[in-house]
Chain A
């Protein structure tokens, strides 16, 4: 293992690393400017546990109703050899009638280990790609693998459809509704970027066997319930844009060493778990370690990162904590205190702040004037 790898292991401590999933890879594009998150993810640190230990647990989980609904919808669409899915692919994406074969890659003869499933997936997909016709159409839960920051990340698309205009099409089944042709833009975005991860992984897998990228479509099939029913509907979505972004972020992750090199030597987020898995290390010490890696907090983190409450607390008193737009309005000045200092017109502003100071003074004067306060 290279020196960076060793560094990252040290940072994580003697616990098995959290492997990336499609969701975490997708999250790389959520706040790529955040060094803290980059390091934590690269080292495979359990952010949930870390956040809880330093006293800022992330919001707890998902509602079981949502989970049930999600599983039930997927099961329904895939029931009886994907009967409903086939109907969709035939009607909307003109899949030939004869293309109806179905392979379940959930397990291999009762074996569900990731390595075995991945090997089996490779075998079937390769055969399909090379021998083309009647070598498989629907591949249920194939297990793909993408190397992220040197570690394998196992990825499990809901389904991959082949022979859809002669190419593999990644198919995502989501249980949020499409109502009169519209769905929640953020949920679709999440689905699309996840699918983009699968497309990348698919292309890598086939490339190893000398099969070109064109054999995997850069359009993915999104299957969602229609309106208020459970009737599935399908839509084709273009993932080219998301793939460019992901490629760039993945390549930056490969350059993680530049981030790691500037970290204090001996830095570690090890919680020193005892046999029972209870953290023994002083939270204060851990928090200190976390603080030594710069974060780039924005309120959007609250929806996207397990560390958000810690970082928000740390960001108290900065303009970043008030949101990107506010910080922008305040001329990018970092601290609220500075803003108010300049607004009061106290002292000479540094010349790189002269303009902002001017603006803020006027703003303060106007507010005081309108609120009948003394300037």
Chain B
């Protein structure tokens, strides 16, 4: 585990980590230059500068005269990369391959150097072309690109890679192995054990057929605070691990308004502000997914953070910045839970807080996150609720503080969970195991418990 045992002085850590991170990125770019083998996989823990790497790699290859196709999973992600790439190099000609019904977003429109088209033909001459995997899958493979950069490759399904892999010779795959695996609505064991099982992730299929491809890891998370890096690394990245880019003292969060009296909600937000974590624990009860108390607790916590004028100080905002609604996210396991929380916020007249499921919060970043624990109020855990990636996404979106809302009794639930999942031959065992990861996280949260009245 690359987690420093001694906590250095504020700032120091950032410098040391900065060098390590830069070194890792430089290595990757060098490896691309050497172009050994058919490609390279870069594992990127939460907020380790994945997009930055993609942008630099694309620019490097383009300037080296190697046309490159960039593949991301959603239009949101593609626009994001396009914007960064354009801002990074104002003269670079960039193609934005889009679907017919795509509406150019303002952040793309403002870059004159970006050509948007649904036809590859009208993007010839652009050394870099970006598009969603789904779109790339529809363009004819008459053109073959020397290089592709595939972003969020761990969320891409093997069968989608199959459809685009013919378009490029070599590729840089970037992604976060700790997040949610791609899934299918179809339940079948027909393909289990096959190296090309279409239900696995693009990276999994790639590595099973090309074991010689080297896998590198970005060692530093710039998003997660020192308070979160270790627990997240230990629970969800047991083998590679990573460290925080900032030291314990480098970030802080404070409230301008003091609490009137003391309520558990205030206690929770204050504890989160000072320690980076809080477990807001509701009395044990078996509930529906849309547990009314849990839902309103999530809403109350969010509103309290805002109403008390939270502000953060960090390497990004040395002189402090207010925590606005758009810097807060509330994460859930299920859509109906998110919907319920949204309407609860609406009833409180709160706008702009991002409320969504783990799947949709992947790859996003906030100052404060409030998590409705997937196992809260359940009597039995299911594979879905235990999935390590789900909890990992929910507990690794924040720069400052994470507040977990849950009913009492999750460790007991985990202990009572029957471990009877089928095991298959020729299927590599998946790590970390969700059951274990959940135990680890709960063990950590136990020390930041606040009991609701």
> Do A29 and B420 touch (CB < 8 A)?
yes
Interface flag for B378 (CB, 8 Å): yes
Contact with B along A229-256 (1 / 0, CB 8 A): 0000001011011101100100010000
> Do A331 and B287 touch (CB < 8 A)?
yes
- Of the residues A29, A183, A222, A359, contact of B419 by C-beta under 8 Å: A29
> Do A185 and B424 touch (CB < 8 A)?
yes
- Of the residues A33, A192, A331, A359, contact of B423 by C-beta under 8 Å: A192
Q: Roughly how many angstroms separate A48 CA and B288 CA in the complex, as a whole number? A: 38
A248 → B minimal CB distance (Å): 7
Question: Which B375-429 residues sit within 8 Å CB-CB of chain A?
Answer: 377-380, 382, 415-426, 428-429
- Of the residues B286, B290, B415, B421, contact of A189 by C-beta under 8 Å: B421
Also in contact, A235 and B426, with CB within 8 A (given A182-B189, A327-B379, A359-B288) = yes
> Do B287 and A185 touch (CB < 8 A)?
no
Contact with A along B177-194 (1 / 0, CB 8 A): 000000000000100111
Also in contact, A30 and B416, with CB within 8 A (given A182-B189, A183-B425, A241-B433) = no
Interface flag for B435 (CB, 8 Å): yes
> Do B433 and A244 touch (CB < 8 A)?
yes
Question: Which A342-375 residues sit within 8 Å CB-CB of chain B?
Answer: 352, 354-356, 359
Q: Which residue of A lies closest to B340 (CB)?
A: A355
Interface flag for B326 (CB, 8 Å): no
Interface flag for B285 (CB, 8 Å): yes
Using Cβ atoms and an 8 Å threshold, which residues of chain B touch A32? 415-418
Question: Which A73-96 residues sit within 8 Å CB-CB of chain B?
Answer: none
Using Cβ atoms and an 8 Å threshold, which residues of chain B touch A29? 418-420
B188 → A minimal CB distance (Å): 12
Using Cβ atoms and an 8 Å threshold, which residues of chain B touch A266? none
Also in contact, A182 and B424, with CB within 8 A (given A327-B379, A328-B380, A352-B285) = yes
Using Cβ atoms and an 8 Å threshold, which residues of chain A touch B418? 29-33, 298, 300
Question: Which A287-315 residues sit within 8 Å CB-CB of chain B?
Answer: 296, 298, 300
> Do B287 and A188 touch (CB < 8 A)?
no
Question: Which B194-241 residues sit within 8 Å CB-CB of chain A?
Answer: 194
> Do B288 and A356 touch (CB < 8 A)?
yes
B441 → A minimal CB distance (Å): 15
> Do B416 and A296 touch (CB < 8 A)?
yes
Q: Roughly how many angstroms separate A310 CA and B326 CA in the complex, as a whole number? A: 56
Also in contact, A248 and B426, with CB within 8 A (given A182-B192, A328-B380) = no
> Do B379 and A188 touch (CB < 8 A)?
no
B431 → A minimal CB distance (Å): 8
Interface size on A, residues (CB 8 A): 40
> Do B424 and A331 touch (CB < 8 A)?
no
B310 → A minimal CB distance (Å): 31
Q: Output the residue of B380, B418, B428 with the most chain A CB within 10 A.
A: B418
Interface flag for A186 (CB, 8 Å): yes
B187 → A minimal CB distance (Å): 13
Interface flag for B292 (CB, 8 Å): yes
Q: Roughly how many angstroms separate A298 CA and B377 CA in the complex, as a whole number? A: 19
Interface flag for B27 (CB, 8 Å): no
Also in contact, A182 and B287, with CB within 8 A (given A32-B416, A241-B433, A248-B415) = no
Contact with A along B421-449 (1 / 0, CB 8 A): 11111101101010110000000000000
B215 → A minimal CB distance (Å): 19
> Do B193 and A188 touch (CB < 8 A)?
no
B393 → A minimal CB distance (Å): 21
Using Cβ atoms and an 8 Å threshold, which residues of chain A touch B435? 245
> Do B415 and A252 touch (CB < 8 A)?
yes
Using Cβ atoms and an 8 Å threshold, which residues of chain A touch B291? 355
Using Cβ atoms and an 8 Å threshold, which residues of chain B touch A245? 419, 435
Interface flag for A150 (CB, 8 Å): no
> Do B429 and A238 touch (CB < 8 A)?
yes
> Do A331 and B192 touch (CB < 8 A)?
no
> Do B288 and A186 touch (CB < 8 A)?
no
Interface flag for A151 (CB, 8 Å): no
> Do A188 and B423 touch (CB < 8 A)?
yes
Q: Which residue of B lies closest to A224 (CB)?
A: B425
B311 → A minimal CB distance (Å): 36
Q: Roughly how many angstroms separate A356 CA and B286 CA in the complex, as a whole number? A: 10
Interface flag for A181 (CB, 8 Å): yes
> Do A328 and B378 touch (CB < 8 A)?
yes
- Of the residues A181, A241, A248, A355, contact of B425 by C-beta under 8 Å: A181
Q: Output the residue of B416, B423, B425 with the most chain A CB within 10 A.
A: B423
Contact with B along A243-278 (1 / 0, CB 8 A): 011001000100000000000000000000000000
B143 → A minimal CB distance (Å): 37
Interface residues of A (CB under 8 A from B): 29-33, 178, 181-186, 188-189, 192, 222, 235, 237-238, 240-242, 244-245, 248, 252, 296, 298, 300, 324, 327-328, 331-333, 352, 354-356, 359
Interface residues of B (CB under 8 A from A): 189, 192-194, 285-288, 290-292, 377-380, 382, 415-426, 428-429, 431, 433, 435-436
Q: List 25 A-B contacts (CB under 8 A).
A: A33-B417, A181-B193, A181-B425, A182-B193, A182-B424, A185-B424, A188-B425, A189-B422, A222-B425, A235-B425, A237-B423, A240-B429, A240-B431, A241-B431, A241-B436, A244-B436, A296-B416, A300-B418, A324-B379, A331-B288, A332-B377, A333-B286, A355-B288, A355-B291, A359-B288
The 8 closest A-B pairs by CB, nearest first: A185-B422, A33-B416, A332-B286, A238-B429, A189-B423, A188-B423, A235-B425, A29-B419
